[in-house]
Amino acid sequence: MLLKRLSEASGVSSNESEVRDIIKDNIEDKVDELWTDVMGNLIAVKGKKKKGKKVLLSAHMDEVGLMITGIESNGLLNFRPVGNIDKRSLVSKPVIVGNDKINGVIGSKAIHLQKSSERNNPIPWSNLYIDIGTSSKKEAKKYIELGDFVSFKTKFKQLGINHAKGKAFDDRVGCSVIIDLLKYEYDFPLYVVFSVQEEVGLRGAGRAAFDIEPSMALIIESTSASDVPESEDYEFSSSLDKGPALTIMDKSLISNKKIIQGIINTSKQNDIPYQIKKSNTGGTDAGEISLTKEGIPSAVISLPSRYIHSPVSLISLKDYDYLKKLIKLYLQDLNKGEF
Amino acid sequence: MENKKFLKTLSETNGISGYEKNLADIIEEVFEPYSDKITKDSLGNLTATKWADNKQDDTIDLMLAAHMDEIGLMVKSIDDKGFIRFTNIGGVDPRTLLAQEVIIHGKEDIIGIIGTKSPYLLNNKESSKSPKLNKLYIDTSLKKEKIEEIITIGDMITLKREFMNLKNEYVSGKALDDRAGVVMLYECFKELSYLKSKVNVHAVATVQEEVGVRGANTSTYNIDPDIGIAVDVCHGDMPGVENDLVVEMNKGPAIAFGPHVHQNIFKKMKSIAEDIGIPYQVEPWPHPAGTDTWAIQITKSGVASALVSIPLRYMHTSVETISMKDVRSGGKLLAQFIARIDSDFVEGLRCY
Amino acid sequence: MKKLIKEITSVFGPSGDEEKIRKYIKKQINNYVDNVYEDNLGNLIAVKKGKSNGKKIMFAAHMDQIALMITHIDEDGFLRFTNVGGVGHNFLPGTPIVFADGTIGTIGVEKLENINDLEMSKLYIDIGANNQQEAEKIVGIGDTAIYAPNFSENNNRVISNYHDDRIGCVVLIEAIKNIQDNNNELYFVFSTQEEVGLRGAKTAAYQIEPDIGIAVDVTATGDTPESHIMDVSLGEGAAIKIKDNSTITHPLVKDLLIKECKNNSINYQFEVLEFGGTDAGAIHLTKGGIPSGTISIPTRYVHTPTEMVDLSDVKASIELVTALSKSIF
């Protein structure tokens, strides 16, 4: 399954090559042109010569991760976050370091050795380290360079009947959906951007939009599902198994009403469930794209995912299939000149 | 001009974010002998350009940026007794301001002292806390009527500090962040006069970096470069700070690595430094907001960017300290890098 | 002018939901401008052509409002909500609100052990529905609501729910009506999505590419009991902004505004604001940089349901905008 490969690939922000290569291999024969820009965004167009307005689909390739920022004299490695990571979830997780994929574990002082005051607080960055088994700075330097990227070593696996666990669903899910959508024909030029550096400040996709100048943009994302214990139901941002989530507003964007209404119409006509994302937190590439040049009507549709920005997250494969189907049908409705 | 003398002049010239004109005028004069063209844009960014040896229409454009603005203060209100309340422009640490002499730039320059309630009058709760900015004031010893003749709400205030030589080529003063970067660009231009290059080099002294990397936004838009390199300062090592957050003093400029740096530029710079024996350090930077690189990289359809930093201690105080040696090495490294750029390298920046 | 203020502060238009206010303003200005159009982000842009020696000036007043957005409807028909823009939760309990279709509601608060526990998640909107089904017939998740209209006056002092920034819109509308024989080419932008990040003005400025940009917006004052220290007072004239968190006013624009105030005997004061931002923040960083500044209307209790302005300051601001239409720089 392609989603499995994408999920297990390493692609911490600005180091997306492995993901980019997988995507390239899978779309090359389905598009008219394929190129990368100076940021590293992978851009492709299908139906370039078709009449009609340019439509842009975008998903980001990068994932949150860590970066090696120091090497201790005893061979342990200091690190800091790349993107917004739930620090509490890091200790005792296996990781892979650098492009040579060296195994490591995130360690900290054992609970037996901690003072009771320490036990109640998340462990600070300076007290966390990665152990790759080296015993001196000199030895560690044989394998590691400062700035090496670190990603979680988490396997993709189906859980229960319809769910799957893995890492980096945010936003490999979006990448995987777009790859799938490129199988079909549309009546307009379809531009797709697999963007870089979303997790460090929405830095990639806007640059691609600047060149493409699309008439509208739909960003396919993964958003946090909070249908879990210890949250009130009115606090749920989105829930698993209730269909793709539409964003009305987040910190970076107020979705274009026409696009959102179009998607809702498509879902109603085809009996596909959808939900409205309830919180207004977070931001996506759509924020940057929508404010490009004279403004580009943009909207976000997401797959709900529990425990995003941690070493392992959980999605519903049913939602995933609905997401693919809904966007495909919406694009086909666009064929009829909806936008 | 000799580097240290240039830095002394820059450090002792005053220009908070938004009011950099004095700096721009000096920089223009000093860069003039080494530049083919000098322009100022609508927000006040100053660009000194040195054309490639065989300049053509499609010649590569490379931008260097160092910001000339400094953090400072601004007059907020004047009370009935003539005490002046002020706000900060950029990231000022209020704890460094007590008993600091300042210059208020009104119709004429007025010297003042920053004061606060005496320690003998503080209760226990107050004395255990550092004073907040809004509790501080400036005492000019002038009557309110006199002050109002000279000073207006919104006037710029700068810290009064003379540039100082320390041992071992270390120097100290205010606003070395990032006037030392401007001097590094100057060293680079001097160096380039001995070298051949295939690129147009645009050295920009940017404005308003300290209030949100604003000048770099618009100057990059105007120049539209193929490569953009910011030169700024980074934290030098000092006691009480985690080792992985600092670089060492006097061991050469720091070449930054992270999402804001194009990996090809990073690799090339590093290998040049190694080949010709220029000392350097690597500065890993996972979330790279806070320098002009942040703005340069995402201008228009994206710019291949990099960051070279000068190790500096006591950032955002009036006694910022650097080593002139690091500035010199950095300037040489930039020039050698520029001399080795060709169109193949630039085309390669788009190939992933 | 009071009639206009009363009307315009009651028109629905949260950030991203500006259709109604856009239509309203268009009707007010249609007959006084050479051209009026809407752009991709919903900005309403009106143009008054200038003369050959004129420059291009963009004025921006935002027509969007801070608001509440429904996030959840519970089984008893109560609505949970989040903020659109900078809504202070401590002003909300007991505040009447209204939806686009006129549905009204009030804001209730859960039982609190301690008043300091008050936060947005403890509040809910009550529209009088008996249960979820009934509520869902009237409102949906994602719907927005604003403070219910609330206009009152004492002589020159006017209180309303949304002076921010409908009073800026009033300044531009009145200036549009006043201005004749302008030599500068004037773009009046009634911008969208200012309250969520200066968004509309950004794309409008990109398209218009003016020589200078002037935002017209409200600012805080320092003339109330134990307020923060700030030298802006109600009734002391139009405020020329020196700085806020989004812009440091370009010296060229600052000097131009001072000059026009002096030449036309317009009351003015200087404003140093230690927080906040205006559309000038977005405009001045557009393309290669656009010298920009802000004319501020001093306003007490900004972002509460009872904002207060002084009409003499509004008039001074209208005069200043009018003066700029002929200004040579």
Q: What is the CATH number of the domain that holds C143?
A: 2.40.30.40
With contact defined as beta carbons under 8 Å apart, do A276 and A125 qualify? no
- My answer on whether A10 and A116 are in the same domain is no
Burial (CB < 10 A; 0-12, 13-18, 19+), residue C195, is buried
Residues 4-33 in C contacting A (C-alpha not used; CB under 8 Å): 15-16
Q: What is the CA radius of gyration of chain B?
A: 21
Per-residue pLDDT in tens (0 to 9) along chain C, 329 residues: 999 999 999 999 999 999 999 999 999 999 999 999 999 999 999 999 999 989 999 999 999 999 999 999 999 999 999 999 999 999 999 999 999 999 999 999 999 999 899 999 999 999 999 999 999 999 999 999 999 999 999 989 999 999 999 999 999 999 999 999 999 999 999 999 999 999 999 999 999 999 999 999 999 999 999 999 999 999 999 999 999 999 999 999 999 999 999 999 999 999 999 999 999 999 999 999 999 999 999 999 999 999 999 999 999 999 999 999 999 99
Residue of B74, B77, B217 with shortest CB distance to C243: B74
Compute the nearest-CA separation of B282 from chain C (Å): 32
State what percent of residues in chain B have pLDDT above 70: 100
Asked whether residue A140 falls in the same domain as residue A236, the answer is: no
The alpha-helical segments, DSSP class H, found in A44-147 are: 116-119, 137-143
Q: Is residue A159 part of a domain?
A: no
Mutate to test the interface with A, among B298, B346, B350 (most CBs of A within 10 A): B298
Are A44 and A119 part of one and the same domain? no
CATH code of the domain in which A113 resides: 2.40.30.40
Q: What is the mean pLDDT of residues A130-135?
A: 96
Torsion angle, CA of B213/A299/A17/A223, rounded to 10 degrees? 100
The yes-or-no verdict on residue A243 having pLDDT over 80 is yes
The first and second tokens of residue B335, run together, are 């020039």
Nearest of C325, C328, C311 to residue C50 by alpha carbon: C325
* pLDDT digit string, tens, across residues A247-263: 999 999 999 999 999 99
Nearest to B78 by CA among B104, B109, B96, B97: B104
Task: Judge whether A33 is closer than 8 Å to chain B, CB to CB.
Answer: no
The CA-to-CA distance between both ends of chain B, in Å, stands at 43
Q: Give tens-digit pLDDT for A136-158.
A: 999 999 999 999 999 999 999 99
Instruction: For residues A280 and A271, give the distance between their C-alpha atoms in angstroms, rounded to a whole number.
Output: 26
CA distances from B191 to A20, B136, B188, B330 (A): 40, 46, 5, 11
Same structural domain, C140 and C193: no
Backbone angles phi, psi at B228, to 5 degrees: -130, 125
For residue B264, the chain A residue with the least C-alpha distance is A38
First and final CA of chain C: distance in angstroms? 30
Task: Give the chain C residue nearest B18 (alpha carbons).
Answer: C248
Distance (Å, whole) CA C296 – CA B60: 45
In which element (H, E) is residue B138 found? strand B137-139
Which CATH number fits the domain that encloses residue C210?
3.40.630.10
Task: Single out the residue of A12, A134, A9 nearest to residue A67, CA to CA.
Answer: A12
Which residues of B are identified as catalytic?
Answer: 209
The interface predicted TM-score of the complex, written ipTM, equals 0.92
Query: CB pairs below 8 Å between A and C: how many?
Result: 59
For CA atoms C41, C45, C51, C55, the dihedral sign is negative
Enclosing H/E stretch for C188 = strand C185-191
* Active-site residue, selected from the candidate residues A63, A198, A199, A288: A198
Identify whether residues A174 and A314 lie together within a single domain. Answer: yes
What are the residue ranges spanned by the domains of chain B? 3-70+174-348, 72-159
Comparing CB atoms, the residue among A36, A67, A208 nearest residue B351 is: A36
Give pTM, 2 decimals: 0.94
Superfamily of domain B72-159: Peptidase M42, domain 2 (2.40.30.40)
The pLDDT score that the predictor gives to residue B243 is 87
Q: What angle do CA B167, B169, B173 make, to 5 degrees?
A: 85
Q: How wide is the angle at C-alpha C38 spanned by C-alphas C33 and C41, nearest 5°? A: 145
Could you tell me which CATH number the domain at B3-70+174-348 has? 3.40.630.10
Structure tokens at B259: 């999402």
In a domain, residue A75? The reply is yes
**Which structural domain range is residue A178 located in?**
2-63+167-335
A265 and A185 in a single domain? The answer is: yes
Secondary-structure percent of chain B, ordered helix, strand, coil, rounded to 5: 35, 30, 40
Our CA-based measurement puts residue C184 at a distance from the nearest CA of chain A, in whole angstroms, of 23
Residue A41 maps to a domain: yes
Size of interface A-B (CB pairs under 8 A): 84
Say if A137 is an interface residue toward chain B (CB within 8 Å).
no
Go through C18-39 and write b for each residue having 16 or more CB atoms within 10 A of its CB, e for each that does not: beebbebbbebbeebbeebeeb
Place of tokens 């390239």: A24
> Residues, chain C, total?
329
In-domain check, residue C229 = yes
Q: What are the pLDDT digits (tens) for B218-267?
A: 999 999 999 999 999 999 998 888 889 999 999 999 999 999 999 999 99
Check residue A13 and report its DSSP letter. Answer: T
Residue A290 with chain C: CB contacts under 8 Å = 41, 199
Compare all CA atoms of chain B with the CA of A77 and give the residue at the minimum distance: B244
Q: Which residue of B has its CA nearest to A208?
A: B301
Chain B neighbors of C243, CB-CB under 8 A = 18, 74, 87, 89, 154
The domain in which residue C74 lies consists of 67-147
Q: Give the whole-angstrom CA distance, residue A313 versus residue A85.
A: 13
C270 touches B at CB < 8 Å: yes
Taking CB atoms and an 8 Å limit, are B258 and A83 in contact across chains?
no
Q: Of A233, A249, A294, which is closest to C207 when you measure between CB atoms? A: A294
Q: Is the Cβ–Cβ distance between A277 and A223 less than 8 Å?
A: yes
Nearest neighbour of A278 by CB, restricted to C41, C141, C206: C141
Same domain? C186 vs C105: no
User: What are the phi and psi torsion angles at C147 (to 5°)?
Assistant: -60, 135
State how far Cα B324 lies from the chain centre: 15
Q: How far apart are the first and last CA of chain A?
A: 33
Nearest residue of A to residue C208, measured between CA atoms = A294
Is residue A15 in some structural domain? yes
**Torsion-angle region of C163 (φ positive above 0: left; ψ -120 to 50: alpha; else: beta):** alpha
Does residue A34 sit in the same domain as residue A72? no
- For residues A255 and A115, give the distance between their C-alpha atoms in angstroms, rounded to a whole number: 49
Distance in Å, alpha carbon of B244 to nearest chain C alpha carbon = 32
Q: Is C226 on the interface with B (CB under 8 A)?
A: no
Of A38, A146, A201, the CB nearest to B289: A201
